[in-house]
Structure 1
Amino acid sequence: MLFQMSAECFSSQFVTSVVSCCPADLKQEVNGKKETLKGFNVKLQDTILFPEGGGQPDDHGLIGDVPVLRVTRQGAEAIHFVRSSLEEGQEVQLKVDWERRFDHMQQHSGQHLITALADTMFGYKTTSWELGRQRSSIELDTPCVKPAELQALEEAVNEKIRAHVPVTVQLLSIDDPAVEKVRSRGLPDDHAGPIRIIDIEGVDANMCCGTHVSNLSHLQVIKLLGTEKGKKSKTNLIFLTGNRVLKYAEKSYSTERSLVSLLKTGADDHVEAVDKLQKSVKLLQKSNLSLLRDMAVLIAQNFKNSPQRGNFFSLHKKEGDNEFMNIIANEIGTEETLVFLTVGEEKGPGLFLLAGPSGVVTEMGPRVLEMLQGKGAGKNGRFQGKANSLARRGDVEAFLQEHCKHHASEEE
């Protein structure tokens, strides 16, 4: 069975039995990387774990002591993905991850309320919505929502919450005339069974398969964070409901206290303080770049004026960029001198430049690139790029010095 339609959304435990358990894979993203998990797809006689659908993510929980990592819908069946096999026919107890379930209930019921009042008050239709991990959004069929409308909408939804409006579930047959009177974006092609209606008394009746609160007071509060430009002349309305508002306030306060400590100012002055800091940083960066350019010229002139100068010059500096290195190479002149320059952490990533006689650079460049584990290219006597590690910089320098000595002895 898909989902125990008549069951209370507040049910957190349930006894059922295993119908089937088959080997399966689950593709998911962990810390930004995609991975495939080996496991089993389990069908149960009945379930209280909600499968993903209607804009709402699936429930998580336990089958016995086996974690349920995903619940999906296949027609009228709910498929539970687990990592350990379960015996067909055995009786098992389901436990819902209640914190996740109640969060989804709050966000979903909150979406229904916002959607209904946005339509009633301003004629803005909802075309889709997303229940995100930290915040949720409703796509409204309008190019913009005015600030005054946003404020009025937030006041209206919270007034309904304070009014303790009941939320009830109705199950209707698909041919019931009452179905035609409820709001809907259409049924899935593989829908089976009765039509489930979520009725917010006096506010909205809407087809929905998701889990919901039984009274708007359970939403606690709704905060409309603002709007973002959507696609094709639509607007995304960003909102938080219930416990997410509390977590957002807690996180915001923690951030505020950290900024008070760092900026040495009260919260009301943070924006001004950061603006001043950014302007100061820009001035410092500009001055630093100017000093680096002057330093590059002095470094090159010092080498050129040295009586012991040879045909090889090497330098590493923690601070610098490609322009800094090219100024040095240009000032020294690389028609007869081989120049090897690097900037960055001594044993970390950085930038490099190999400049000198064209034939020598063409020959040595790929080997230098290999030793620095980098990426780069060269032409006209210049070979430069990024180094993943400067740990072997000394080896490169020795390699180039040896080449210069060998070349000098050949000329003699």
Structure 2
Amino acid sequence: MSFQCQRDCYMKEFVTSVVSCCPAELKQEVNGKKETLKGFNVKLQDTILFPEGGGQPDDHGLIGDVPVLRVTRQGAEAVHFVCSPLEEGLEVQLKLDWDRRFDHMQQHSGQHLITALAEAMFGFKTTSWELGRQRCSIELDTTSMKPAQLQALEEAVNEKIRAHVPVTLQLLSIDDPAVEKVRSRGLPDDHAGPIRIIDIQGVDANMCCGTHVSNLSQLQVIKLLVAEKGKKNKTNLIFLAGNRVLKYAEKCYSTERSMVSLLKTGPEEHVEAVDKIQKSVKILQKSNLGLLRDMAVLIAQNFKSSPQRGPFFTLHKKEGDNEFMNIIATEIGTEETLVFLTVGEEKGPGLFLLAGPVDAVSAMGPRVLEMLQGKGAGKSGRFQGKANSLARRGDVEDLLRQHASREQ
């Protein structure tokens, strides 16, 4: 397998021809929702759009003026998913989304460099890696990585970048003895064509299908963010390479400026200032809870002492919690009184409690739950839960008031 994108990772435009175009579907996730897109799978004579593989995502780009939404590999062929059909035999011009490609090249070459030096310096072998949209992760076969090791590894990879180490490509036949001497995690079952070797001069030679920079200097810089505990006694090393480091620094600086404006302190005092705010908030929350509990008792006592008290009591309060509602119900006493309480936004989500005679609550609880579009359960004269919408709270009150009057 060797596409034009693998022979020349820097080619941004390319003329080729359409070999086939067949109806197809693409399953994708948009804004957290899965959807199926109808379109066409297009095979070309050759391509500069990399099909996903080796831990690297696929390229985006254009075939003529038709956007390519996905590129996958089927054996020795690349399949391009598009929404508009293309005529077989048609000569077309490919245009590559270069910003996306170069980002992938930086991250992928960065991973090779980190992987090679982590093994050479500490014996930590790479078992897998992920090129994420914002950060990359290398899974290392070690239970932990000490801060001093993380710092030493970061210094070592950036020293190689400053040394302008060349990165070259070799294409070898599968029976070439040299193949046995390079690092590899094995070939895919449907591999076809020559073996592709990425050689970081004097550092690492690795079997790989992905796209890479031609010199480590093009990585600019690598930042190792953290080494955290992974699955099955492994360690996940999170890193950024190249332009992602610059974007990360810009984002951090923007956040720092916002924090300076909000906290009215310099960056070196932010942690102390936030710690003070958090402690103050905890004190205020504790005080507020105490006031709510006292208010709950007073509300119940006021109802009990009223000459006009009836068989039904209802109350809505924006602030409050389950304990607040339960205190009111307990203080009122629900052997003879039907109590309906809610907290939260007036027409938004919230909490509810229905308490009263066991038979009344058992009969009305499910209906209240349905009207509030909620989830909950009840027993022993209490039915409570979460409401997705309190918009029909008034209707629930009318229903319960009528029921309480009939039972009186």
Is 1:254 matched with 2:259? no
Deviation at 1:402, TM superposition (A): 2.2
Q: Distance in 1 between matches of 2:96 and 2:6?
A: 17
1:62-77 alignment runs, 5 A limit: 62-77=62-77
Deviation at 1:406, TM superposition (A): 3.0
Q: Which residue of 2 aligns with 1:401?
A: 401
Q: Distance in 2 between matches of 1:123 and 1:332?
A: 69
Q: Distance in 2 between matches of 1:77 and 1:307?
A: 86
Contact 2:114 2:153 in 1 (8 A): yes
Contact 2:2 2:194 in 1 (8 A): no
Identity %: 86
Q: Which residue of 1 aligns with 2:190?
A: 190
Q: Which residue of 2 aligns with 1:164?
A: 164
SS at match of 1:130: strand
Q: More deviation in 148-157 or 104-113?
A: 148-157
Q: Distance in 2 between matches of 1:368 and 1:137?
A: 49
**Which amino acid letter does the alignment assign opposite residue 193 of structure 2?**
G
Please give the TM-score of this superposition, normalised by the length of structure 2. Answer: 0.97
Q: Which residue of 2 aligns with 1:370?
A: 370
Contact 1:7 1:48 in 2 (8 A): no
Q: Distance in 2 between matches of 1:118 and 1:51?
A: 28
1:180-219 alignment runs, 5 A limit: 180-219=180-219
Contact 2:2 2:193 in 1 (8 A): no
CA 1:358 to 1:117, structure 2 compared with 1: closer, same or farther past 3 Å? same
CA 1:6 to 1:324, structure 2 compared with 1: closer, same or farther past 3 Å? closer
Q: Distance in 2 between matches of 1:5 and 1:400?
A: 70
SS at match of 2:93: strand
- Compute the RMSD of aligned alpha carbons: 1.3
Q: Deviations over 1:147-177 (max 9, x none)?
A: 1221111111111111111111111111112
Q: Which residue of 2 aligns with 1:289?
A: 289
Q: Distance in 2 between matches of 1:185 and 1:407?
A: 75
Deviation at 1:399, TM superposition (A): 1.9
Please give the TM-score of this superposition, normalised by the length of structure 1. Answer: 0.96
**Count of aligned positions:** 408
Is 1:122 matched with 2:126? no
Contact 2:6 2:211 in 1 (8 A): no
**Which amino acid letter does the alignment assign opposite residue 299 of structure 2?**
I
CA 1:147 to 1:167, structure 2 compared with 1: closer, same or farther past 3 Å? same
CA 1:2 to 1:194, structure 2 compared with 1: closer, same or farther past 3 Å? closer
Contact 2:5 2:11 in 1 (8 A): no
Q: Distance in 1 between matches of 2:242 and 2:197?
A: 23
Q: Distance in 2 between matches of 1:147 and 1:279?
A: 30
Q: More deviation in 8-17 or 178-187?
A: 178-187
Contact 2:345 2:390 in 1 (8 A): yes
Q: Distance in 2 between matches of 1:63 and 1:346?
A: 53
Q: Which residue of 2 aligns with 1:234?
A: 234
Deviation at 1:104, TM superposition (A): 0.3
Is 1:35 matched with 2:52? no
SS at match of 1:114: helix
Q: Distance in 1 between matches of 2:117 and 2:359?
A: 74
Deviation at 1:7, TM superposition (A): 2.9
Q: More deviation in 239-248 or 150-159?
A: 150-159
Q: Which residue of 1 aligns with 2:61?
A: 61
Contact 1:69 1:81 in 2 (8 A): yes
Deviation at 1:233, TM superposition (A): 2.1
Q: Distance in 2 between matches of 1:384 and 1:106?
A: 55
Q: Distance in 2 between matches of 1:370 and 1:172?
A: 68
Q: Deviations over 1:41-88 (max 9, x none)?
A: 110011111111111111111111111111111111111111111111
Q: Distance in 2 between matches of 1:174 and 1:325?
A: 73
Q: Distance in 1 between matches of 2:6 and 2:382?
A: 75
**Which amino acid letter does the alignment assign opposite residue 114 of structure 1?**
I
1:8-23 alignment runs, 5 A limit: 8-23=8-23
1:325-364 alignment runs, 5 A limit: 325-364=325-364
Contact 2:350 2:389 in 1 (8 A): yes
Contact 2:6 2:209 in 1 (8 A): no
**Which amino acid letter does the alignment assign opposite residue 203 of structure 1?**
V
Q: Distance in 2 between matches of 1:232 and 1:121?
A: 22
Q: Distance in 2 between matches of 1:144 and 1:334?
A: 58
Q: More deviation in 361-370 or 109-118?
A: 361-370
Q: Distance in 2 between matches of 1:210 and 1:296?
A: 65
Q: Which residue of 2 aligns with 1:313?
A: 313
**Which amino acid letter does the alignment assign opposite residue 195 of structure 2?**
I
**Which amino acid letter does the alignment assign opposite residue 398 of structure 2?**
A
CA 1:308 to 1:203, structure 2 compared with 1: closer, same or farther past 3 Å? same
**5+ long unaligned stretches in structure 1:** none
Contact 2:172 2:196 in 1 (8 A): yes
Deviation at 1:277, TM superposition (A): 1.3
Q: Distance in 1 between matches of 2:45 and 2:257?
A: 52
Q: Deviations over 1:243-286 (max 9, x none)?
A: 00000000101111111111111111111111111111111111
**5+ long unaligned stretches in structure 2:** none
Is 1:110 matched with 2:81? no
SS at match of 1:171: strand
SS at match of 2:273: helix
**Which amino acid letter does the alignment assign opposite residue 67 of structure 1?**
P
Q: Distance in 2 between matches of 1:364 and 1:121?
A: 69
Q: Distance in 2 between matches of 1:202 and 1:286?
A: 62
Contact 1:2 1:77 in 2 (8 A): no
Is 1:49 matched with 2:80? no
Q: More deviation in 376-385 or 21-30?
A: 376-385
Contact 2:111 2:138 in 1 (8 A): yes
**Which amino acid letter does the alignment assign opposite residue 42 of structure 1?**
V
Q: More deviation in 371-380 or 108-117?
A: 371-380
Q: Distance in 2 between matches of 1:121 and 1:367?
A: 67
Q: Distance in 2 between matches of 1:171 and 1:372?
A: 66
Q: Distance in 1 between matches of 2:125 and 2:375?
A: 52
SS at match of 2:7: coil
